[in-house]
Structures are given as structure tokens and as C-alpha cells.
Structure 1
Amino acid sequence: DASAWYEPVYNDLGHLHQSLGQNYLDRVIKPAIRSAARSVVGRYTPEQLYSSKRDIIQDEIFIETKKILEKQYVQLNEILVRDVTLPATIKTAIERKLKQEQESLEYEFRLVTAQKEAEKVIIEAKGKAESNRILSASLTDKILQDKGIDATIKLADSPNSKIIVIGSGDSGLPLILGNQ
């Protein structure tokens, strides 16, 4: 289904009516559009007609129709393809294929997203492992003992009731037992 914008070539209006008559729309314009449309449509697959190449097809129909009408005293200004009607089975098959392509693209997107998330987790884990390695290398028994003493002092200052046993344990640090 298409619309055509056309007008007679005004300098040749007499020739138009003399050779084609007043019914030049049905005698020349419609057959020219049909002929050009058949020629152009035959070059494309049903899927291209239905979706991806519609503007290109419209332009090609315009160009071919314009060539046909040049010698017919008619100036073609525009052709607009309003609708492409395909048999129901072909239309359904095309729609199913397009849906499957979209689902495939969505799946690929999810895979890429999952891969990037996995890479992020690996990078974070490597960072934590490196941090732990550095921390472990710098910790000595003396530092741990000092940290233990600081923790014992903070715990002793807290209002919670507790029992502190001094001198227990292999490290020589106080053993703290809490009562609540």
C-alpha cells in the first residue's frame, strides 16, 4: 500500500491530455508504480520487505517509477510506502525469527554481564589476597602482643562484667572470660 505525490508537467499538459486523456492516473501512474514495485520487491527477501530495508525499498520504487513517468508528461514528487502486507505464514515466520534474534542478543548480553561480574569478583579477591599477604608479612609476635594488650585495656575499661585471668595461654597474653 503506497501513496504517490505527483503532478502533471504543466508545460506539457496539452500533450498529457491529448495522448493519455484525463484518466492518466489509472492509465499510467498506477501501472508504473506497480511495475516499479514488483521490480524492486523482487530483489529483497520477505524479512527485508517487512522490516529492515523498508526505507531503501521505498526510495528505489520512487526512482524506478520516476524514470518510467519522465516520458509520460507526469512529474513524480514522492512515493510513500504505507504498508507491506505479506502472507500470514511468512509474517509469522519473520516475527518468530526476529524474536529469536532478540532473545539471542539478550542472552549474549547476560553472558557478557556475568563475565564482567566474575572478572570484578576475581579482581577484588586478588586485592584482598595481596592485602592479607602484605599484612601477614608485616605482623610479628611483638605487634600481635601489643595489639592484645591494647584490646585488654579497652575491654577492662568497658562497663561489662568480666573475668581476666593473667598469664594464661601460650602467648603470655591475658585470658579474658566474659560474664553477662
Structure 2
Amino acid sequence: MYVPYPQTKKSGKGKIAALAALFGFFILLVLSSSVVVIDQTEVGVVKIFGRVQEKPLHPGLHFVTPFVTEVVRMPVYEKTMEMIGEKHIKALTSEGLPVFFDMAIQYKVVPEKAPEVYSTLKNYEIWMESRIRAHIRDIIAQYKAEDLYTENRELIQADIERRLDEEFRPYGILITAVLIRNIDLPESVERAIQAKIEAKQEAERMQFIVQKERLEAERKKVEAQGIAEANRIIGESLRNNPEYIQWYYLQVLDDFAKSGNSVILVPVPGNFYPGVNVTSTPPLILPTTK
């Protein structure tokens, strides 16, 4: 005899299990849609029904309205926009010479202004690149080609950084550094610039030599003045005390004679000997070597 009741009971349990599994999946889906984790290097731009909210989500765990909320992550760490290879910069100098060079622009997005950057610019790097190229061409046109090879390159980089910062800061993008690299000029222009730099270095070297000689002349002048002053003082001293030099000479003569050397006699004034008053000219004994 056929009894259907046990099959009906088994079928009911299967439906309950299926409903429980479906409910659990729905719960997981709701949780995954309502929990958002933001990394330390980014902020979250919140969109509800496609409308961008003013306040961003900062790093950490956040709960949002599921299904109707979308969170767009934007990096806020310092990034580098490379303009190299086919994207290198081409500009004309004040002399009308074409120059080619690579460039790196370092920048970062202000976290609090990330929603504004997203809503007004969205693909902001593409927007930035077009304006960067325009500003660089305008600035390079104010300088000579040789300025890119000399210390004026730092002035050019600072000028570009200032101009770009003025352009992008109101949008919430800060320019932190501008670097010019791999400058390419016509070979004849490079040779002319190199020759000019070498001539300038030679002129500076000669200026240094002239300055050195001028200082040496001043030193010798001061030294001569010192010697002259010393001689004047010694002369004044001898004029005030003539007996000293006479005594000193006789002392040297006596020491020389005691050593066994021969001497010769020459006439001297009568007042040469201190303390002796003679009217005739007594002999002066001068030493001579054997």
C-alpha cells in the first residue's frame, strides 16, 4: 500500500534548509555591502545613489548603507607623474631653440578635498598633464637653453613648481617637487654652451689668481712696512745709545782673536772707543780668516 506522508515531511525539511541557506547568504551579502575598510594610504569617496558626499571616509573600519552606497578609494600618498619617453616635454627657449627633456612631477591629494577632486576632475591625472605641459612651455620660453645646464635649472624647477602649485592647490592637489632630467639639445648648441661654461670657469679662475696676487702684494707691503718700522725703532735706539754698537763690535773682535785667527789694522775715528778720549786716529783691528 502506498503511503505519501513520509515523503512530504522530507520535502518540507529540504525547503526549510534551502530557505535558511538563502537567508544566510542574504545576511552575508548585506554585511559585505555595509562594511568598508579604508587603508592608511587612501581615503574613501562616498557615493549614495550616485551622489558624491562631502565628507570622505578616513582609514579604518566603516559601516555604510548597503546596496545604495558606493565607496571609491583614492590614494593620498605622494605620487609621481613621469613624463618620459614618448611623453617627454618639448618646448622652445627664448632664443627659439627646441629643447627636449624628461620631467617628474611629485604631488599628492589633500584627504579632506578628495570628494571635490573626484566630483570635479575624476580622471585628474589626465587633466593635470595637459595643464602641466602648457605651463612648462610658457616658462621655458622665458629662459635660454644654457640655463637648463647651469645653476639656473634650479630656478626653472622652482618657477614651474610655484606655477603648478598655484594652479592645482585650489582643487586640493599639492605639488611637492618638480625634477628636470635628460635634457636633449642639438649637438652644435651643446658644444657652444659647453665652451661658454668653460670660458666662464677660466675667467673665474683668473679672477681668483688676480685676487690672490693682490692679497700677496698687500701682504708684502704690510711686511715691508713692518720691517721699515722695526729699522726705524732700531736706528732710534742706536742713535740714543751709540756706545752699545761699539762695545758689541769690540766684543766680537776679541772673541775672534782668541780663536787664533789673524787680524788686520784699519784707521777709525777717535770717538769710536767708548770711554776713551783721543785726538788722533787709533787703529781698528778687523778680523780675517786664515
Q: Which has the higher strand share?
A: 2
Aligned-residue offset at 1:108? 1.3
Give the equivalent residue in structure 2 for 1:49.
148
Aligned-residue offset at 1:141? 7.0
Aligned-residue offset at 1:143? 4.6
- 1:89 has 2:188 as partner: yes
Q: Is the 8 A contact 2:160 2:178 kept in 1?
A: no
Give the equivalent residue in structure 2 for 1:78.
176
TM-score by length of 1: 0.72
Output the CA distance in 2 between the equivalents of 1:128 and 1:177: 31
Aligned-residue offset at 1:169? 0.5
Aligned-residue offset at 1:110? 0.9
- Segments of 5+ residues of structure 2 without an aligned counterpart are 1-101, 269-282
CA 1:104–1:148 in 2, change beyond 3 Å: closer, same or farther? same
Give RMSD over aligned pairs.
3.1
Q: Is the 8 A contact 1:164 1:174 kept in 2?
A: yes
- Amino acid aligned to 1:93: A
Aligned-residue offset at 1:109? 1.4
Give the equivalent residue in structure 1 for 2:267.
170
Q: Which has the higher helix share?
A: 1
- Segments of 5+ residues of structure 1 without an aligned counterpart are none
TM-score by length of 2: 0.48
Instruction: Please give the secondary structure, in 1, of the residue aligned with 2:142.
Output: coil
Map 1:24-63 → 2, pairs under 5 A: 25=125, 27-63=126-162
Larger Rg: 2
Aligned-residue offset at 1:41? 0.6
Give the equivalent residue in structure 2 for 1:99.
198
Aligned-residue offset at 1:69? 5.1
CA 1:128–1:58 in 2, change beyond 3 Å: closer, same or farther? closer
Aligned-residue offset at 1:117? 1.4
Instruction: Please give the secondary structure, in 2, of the residue aligned with 1:169.
Output: strand
Aligned length: 168
- Amino acid aligned to 1:10: A
Aligned-residue offset at 1:151? 1.0
Instruction: Please give the secondary structure, in 2, of the residue aligned with 1:178.
Output: coil
Output the CA distance in 2 between the equivalents of 1:63 and 1:122: 52
Q: Is the 8 A contact 2:164 2:175 kept in 1?
A: no
Identity %: 24
